[in-house]
Amino acid sequence: MLPLVGIPRTIAKFLQSYRQVFGKEAGWKHISRYINGLLMSPNKTLQGIYSQLVWDGENKVSRRAMHEAVFEAGWKYQELMEEHRKNVAVIHQGKGREVMALDWTMSYHPYSEKIFGAKSAYDYVNRCGRCYQTVVTAVVSNAQRLDGIAVEVQQPNYEKEELAYLKMTAKESYEEMEQVRERLLELLHYQKNRLAYRKRTEIAVEIVRQIETEGHFPHADYAFDQGVLSRPLTELIEAKGKHWVTEVERSRNIMWNSQWQRVDQVAEGLKTAHPESFRHKSVRCRNNEPREIWAFTKVVRLKKYGRKRLMITHEKPDLSDNPRFLLTDASALGCFTNIYLLELSLASRNLS
């Protein structure tokens, strides 16, 4: 493990654009060393980074000083991300078509619930109880690079537990005014926490609204998975004159032959009765790798979303693999719509 003796010029040059977000020069140097360690050190903890730093006898500082500079300095997260998006937009200019990918994930913290946003809950992905954060992210991508531009941690929702506590501690009457005051504070805290909680779909809408308000990526369309799909999100994107594409669950109902049917049943019927309806197309992913697919596309009607374009894709010519179901608002883009939609979806998959 090599020692860290300084900040490489490439990292220092990039970090300099964020200097105005931070206050004291000493704290800024600590933060620069810390970020350098996150990139260069095999041990990403504060202790691991600190142990690799080379100091002379006069300038050596305590671990507490670095901890204070990194975690207790008065820098603003929102200002930092706004500055970051502005810098990323400059780098992306003139690099071709861009795709904005929205996603969410579970960040595991198996040993502690004291970390911000961490909660002990059932993990339906691994089918077991876990302690984790729910994190919503946004990434902008073009053919040459991809950059994260937003990350939000969802606060835990303890509404059921708080409501159970209020019911358990309720009294028919309160004899003293101090008891009334304490009870009123408990009710107000419950209401405040209930209103402050945001679903991950609501967080995704706020992220998109912030990105579109700043206007740094005016031509970037959106790709996201079914975990953040919501009507407010699609309406916001369409109101900005942009297109979106998402992968929907196989149990989604669509209007087919004048009746509501599951989309996987429709796909199975098409594969059995009309396999010729899946047309061969060759597309290139964001890494310029070709991909062969067989796709069926049609404008259908869905509940809540109205008329949208559905695409059913296979990656094997005999249609023996499991199909993917894509949905988009781009219902009138002409014969190149199918390739356009698939490229957006594949970009979203590659970013994950």
Predicted pLDDT of residue 212 = 96
Q: What is the pLDDT of residues 258-312, one digit of tens each?
A: 899 999 999 999 999 999 999 998 877 766 777 888 989 899 999 889 999 998 9
Q: What phi and psi, each to the nearest 5 degrees, are found at residue 9?
A: -60, -40
Q: Is the pLDDT of residue 346 over 70?
A: no
Give me the half-sphere count of Cα atoms (radius 13 Å) on the Cβ side of residue 18: 25
Nearest to 62 by CA among 47, 74, 41, 40: 47
Predicted pLDDT of residue 41 = 87
Task: State the Cα–Cα distance between residues 14 and 235, nearest whole angstrom.
Answer: 36
Q: Is the pLDDT of residue 58 over 50?
A: yes
Predicted pLDDT of residue 332 = 55
Predicted pLDDT of residue 348 = 47
Nearest to 286 by CA among 147, 165, 117: 147
Q: Cβ-count burial of 290 within 10 angstroms (0-12 exposed, 13-18 middle, 19+ buried)?
A: exposed
Across the range 310-322, mean pLDDT stands at 91
Q: What is the mean pLDDT of the chain?
A: 85
Across the range 229-255, mean pLDDT stands at 92
The full DSSP string for 180-200 is: HHHHHHHHHHHHHHHHH---H
Q: How confident is the model at residue 74 (pLDDT cuts 50, 70, 90)?
A: confident
The full DSSP string for 30-54 is: HHHHHHHHHHH-SS-SHHHHHHHB-
Predicted pLDDT of residue 183 = 92
Predicted pLDDT of residue 127 = 84
Per-residue CA distances from 135 to 124, 150, 156, 235, 262 (Å):
16, 10, 11, 23, 30
Predicted pLDDT of residue 4 = 79
Q: Cβ-count burial of 259 within 10 angstroms (0-12 exposed, 13-18 middle, 19+ buried)?
A: exposed
Q: How confident is the model at residue 88 (pLDDT cuts 50, 70, 90)?
A: very high
Q: How far is CA 106 from the centre of its chain?
A: 10
Domain boundaries, the chain: 9-71, 77-157+197-214, 159-196, 243-351
Q: Is the pLDDT of residue 335 over 50?
A: no
Mean pLDDT lowest among 15-24, 196-205, 215-224:
15-24
Q: How many other CB atoms are there within 10 angstroms of residue 147's CB atom?
A: 16
Q: Which residues of 18-31 are buried (b: 16+ CB within 10 A; e: fewer)?
A: beebbeeeebbebb
Predicted pLDDT of residue 256 = 93
